[in-house]
A and B are shown apart, each in its own frame.
Chain A
Amino acid sequence: MGNPMKIRAANKDGVTEVKVLVSHEMETGQRKDANGAIVPAWFITELVAKHGDKTVLSSEFGPSVSKNPYLAFKFKGGAKGDKITVSWKDNKGDSRSDEATIG
């Protein structure tokens, strides 16, 4: 389990904007450590955002997404107080899911 994500969701004029900041190393597998050994790749592969039970965004990441990935998107609908759930999985099998309320 990684650290908690920071999720902000705000509804304006019927459109909900969601901003997610994930805490993850996103190691590319191209970097070498001080001894010249390659640091193994470690990155988020899949991230899904849901509004209630409905998927509003599903994404696949490669290692070239930045460390501590940031993501912003908008969807129609959503109301104040609704739940937004964001889940990710990485290539080492770790996963995490966090919730936020639309404000």
Chain B
Amino acid sequence: MNNQRRTVLKSGSGAALLGMLAAAGIITPGMALADWNKAAFDAKSMADTLKALGAGSPADSKDVQVTGPDIAENGAVVPVGVASSLPNISMVAILIEKNPNALAATFTLPEGTEANVQTRVKMGQTSNIYALVKSDGKFFMATKEIKVTLGGCGG
């Protein structure tokens, strides 16, 4: 038990994980989740986020689709989907350019999981939404503008 705790402490980063351990007592082996990518989620601009994700400057691709409404009446709940026909997609991320922190969510897809993910995000204002996918180790991106009539942050 103690050995396991040491390993977790060493591999972990930051106070968030420590707090998590303190509250949870210990992480059970079945729940060994990846470390939360703080740098990427804290990044404010699109460029910084892409850098933190190690994506550099991804190429635009027609094989990546972002789905969502053209106009969102309520910015607090905007349904967004990402789908792609590119091969061997291991990662999908949703970025919202004009939110305080651009990155909304990342999904790691093991083999067998389709590159087709839907979720709901908050948008502070009208913005471009970017879908970033990693296919065969390369990053590709697609974008869609969603107009927001009522903001979801601070409203």
A positions within 8 Å CB-CB of B:
15, 26, 28, 30-32, 45-46, 48, 54-67, 69-77, 87, 89, 91-95, 97
Does B154 contact A32, Cβ atoms closer than 8 Å?
yes
When distances are taken between beta carbons in the complex, the residues of chain B under 8 Å from A45 are 16, 36
Q: A64-B122, A66-B120 are in contact. Are A75 and B112 (CB under 8 A)?
A: yes
Q: Is B114 an interface residue (CB 8 A)?
A: yes
- Any chain A CB within 8 A of the CB of B119? yes
CB-based contact A60/B41 at 8 Å: yes
Assess whether B153 is in contact with A31, with CB atoms less than 8 Å apart.
yes
Please list 23 pairs of residues, one from A and one from B, whose beta carbons are closer than 8 Å in the complex, sorted by A's number: A15-B114, A30-B154, A32-B154, A46-B34, A57-B109, A61-B104, A62-B101, A62-B103, A64-B96, A64-B99, A64-B104, A64-B122, A64-B123, A64-B153, A70-B79, A73-B107, A75-B113, A76-B114, A77-B112, A87-B31, A87-B33, A93-B22, A97-B31
The number of residues on chain B lying at the interface, defined by a beta carbon within 8 Å of a beta carbon of chain A, is 44
Please tell me if B55 contacts chain A, counting CB pairs below 8 Å: no
Q: Which residues of B contact A (CB under 8 A)?
A: 16, 19-24, 31, 33-34, 36-37, 41, 76-79, 81, 96, 99-101, 103-110, 112-114, 116-123, 152-154
B29: min CB distance to chain A, Å: 11
**Cβ-neighbour of B105 out of A61, A67, A94 (below 8 A):** A61
Given contacts A65-B105, A76-B112, 11 further A-B contacts (CB under 8 A): A30-B154, A45-B36, A58-B107, A59-B107, A60-B41, A66-B122, A71-B117, A72-B117, A87-B31, A93-B20, A95-B31
